Amino acid sequence: MREFRARLATWLEHRTGIETAVRSFLYEEIPASSGWHQVFGSVAIFLFLVQVFTGILLAVNYAPTPGDAYNSLRYILTELTAGRLIRGLHHWGASMMIVVVVLHMTQAFLYGAYKKPREATWMVGVVLFVLTLAYGLTGYLLPWDNRAYWGTVVATQIAAQAPLLGPYLSRLLGGESSIGVVTFARFFGLHVLLLPPATTFLIALHVYLVRKHGVAPLPGDERLPRKKFFPEQVFKDTVAIFLAFAVLFIMAVAVRVPLERLADPTDTTYIPRPDWYFLFLFQTLKFFKGPLEVVGSVVLPGAAILALLLVPFIDRGRMVRVARRTVAAGFVALAVLGWAGLTAAAIATTPKPEPVAEIDFSGPTDWIELSPQELAGIGYFRRENCVSCHTLGDGKPGIGPDLTTTSIHKSAAWMIRHFKRPSEIVPGSAMPPIQLSDSQLNALAAFLLKLNPRNASALENAPDFAVGGALIYQTSNCGACHQVNNVGMKIGPPLNGLRKRRSRPWLERHFRDPQSVSPNTIMPPYQFNARDVDNLISYLFALPD
């Protein structure tokens, strides 16, 4: 066996030269000063590979067309095995990659690693940084939720302001009139088809240039014996990669990535916000009004990128120790303070939207499609603590049967008789009578008839505000005049899509004094307490259009 392995290794070396290449790579000599401060490049490459791997896993389950993209992403998050983890790794990996690339560039800048003969290495790194930001920009639209849609509207409007090239960029991005199929297809193509091979080529070129010119040594290193890349630096890089992945994995598991409503071009009340790494640019635009907007949106960012590219030709002095590079350290400190200050100001000055309960569309939302009666039934189910004896699909079996089993479902009339007199309907039952009114028992029965193994978890975890709002809706008999999800009377307007037509303050006044906002209405006033009003309005605003 040993002889076979030796012959195989010899054959591979003779045909491919792989053994020589690996040895040359691992045993390259590096300066004695190399250490932990130079692990960021390896971590950045690792994070790029994570992005490629998770991106492929997402792409094979993703439908790259508007609308279908949103539904396929919801499928990934709610149905696909480990789908939420994959998306979390991809989402937070993008943010971490930007952070690591910035740290890598900062380290190279502080150490003067851009000086002769490494000018091209630095310039390729700057282009890689720009491509990293481009991933964030093009990938932002792909979930096709409200946040992605309106954020991209802002991005295409900024691109349209570029001097001379503005109209052409707007046409190229498909954002001349509105964000639609063309814009989506081009952003998807850039994100998936163009940027990855370009990044791969530039990473290979960057690594080649690093190996060609060597790792930048500190002044005085020439007197010290050089060391091998393997094993000491490889160990440091491996530890750094492990720590980075540990942080990324914890973020992906513990911090849920938001998914808002399906993109709605008619929702002009939505306040668009870019991702955190573009907030500083968003805030910068506020300092330039009217014709000067182009300065903040195009001129300043373009000048910053150009300055980074020209750094090796601006600073042509000899290498000195980091402690003596006070000007470089000052520039870094100024950049950090400016970025942090602008980002904090952008967060602090974000207009507060009307308080609406958050809905997590990255999880099952079957409860949205229920009628108010069925949703109110969840409230009575919780109030009577039915889960103390019954299970809903998963979990340890209880004293009573699993209520998602369709074979035990009876008619609503049978259930109501059973609720009132359990031992008479099911002899020997230990279930106590339920002390609810007939309308409340009807709601409880309606909910139980809706249960099945697929929707049990989603219905059981319906948010409290929605259940509370449905309870108020039912007890106030709103269905006698209005329809919700096509259930109810048509005397008053249907309430689906209400969030587009009315504001929260308007509805609060309407409940207290209907005549003040809707003259000649037959709706009576309701004296709800603050919590009931909040739950009812939040529930109505959560309804699908």
pLDDT tens across 155-174, in order?
A: 888 887 777 777 888 888 77
pLDDT in tens, 483-506: 999 999 999 999 998 988 888 899
Same domain, 422 and 543: no
First to last CA, the chain: 69
Alpha-carbon span 523 to 481, nearest angstrom:
9
Taking the C-alpha atoms of residue 533 and residue 167, their distance in angstroms, rounded to an integer, is 48
CA distance 144 to 262: 6
- Look at residue 292 and tell me if it is in a domain: no
Ramachandran quadrant class, 54 (left: phi over 0; alpha: psi -120 to 50; beta: rest): alpha
Instruction: Indicate whether 503 and 429 sit together in one domain.
Output: no
Asked if residue 361 belongs to a domain, the reply is no
What's the predicted TM-score (pTM) here? 0.86
Owning domain of residue 172: 25-273
Helices (H), 255-361: 279-284, 293-294, 300-314, 326-348
What are the tens digits of pLDDT across the range 185-232? Answer: 999 999 999 999 999 999 999 999 998 998 888 877 767 788 888 888
Question: CA 458 to CA 470: how far, in whole Å?
Answer: 16
Alpha carbons 382 and 365: distance in angstroms, whole number:
18
Give the number of domains in the chain. Answer: 3
Distances (CA, A) of 185 to 65, 134, 146, 260: 7, 16, 17, 21
Whether 380 and 502 map to the same domain: the answer is no
Per-residue pLDDT tens over the stretch 424-463: 888 888 889 999 999 999 999 999 999 888 888 888 889 9
CATH number of the domain where residue 437 is located: 1.10.760.10
Tell me, what's the pLDDT at 175? 67
Same-domain check for residues 437 and 467: no
Of 446, 474, 495, the one marking the end of a domain is 446
CB 252 within 8 A of CB 92: yes
Distance CA 507, CA 537 (A): 7
When pLDDT is averaged across residues 238-249 and rounded to a whole number, the result is: 97
Tokens 């259009």, residue located? 545
The model's confidence at residue 408, banded by pLDDT at 50, 70 and 90, is low
Q: Is residue 213 part of a domain?
A: yes
Do 180 and 86 lie in one domain? The reply is: yes
Distance CA 440, CA 474 (A): 9
Q: Would you call 167 exposed, middle or buried from its count of C-beta atoms within 10 A (0-12, 13-18, 19+)?
A: exposed
Judge if 120 and 244 occupy the same domain. Answer: yes
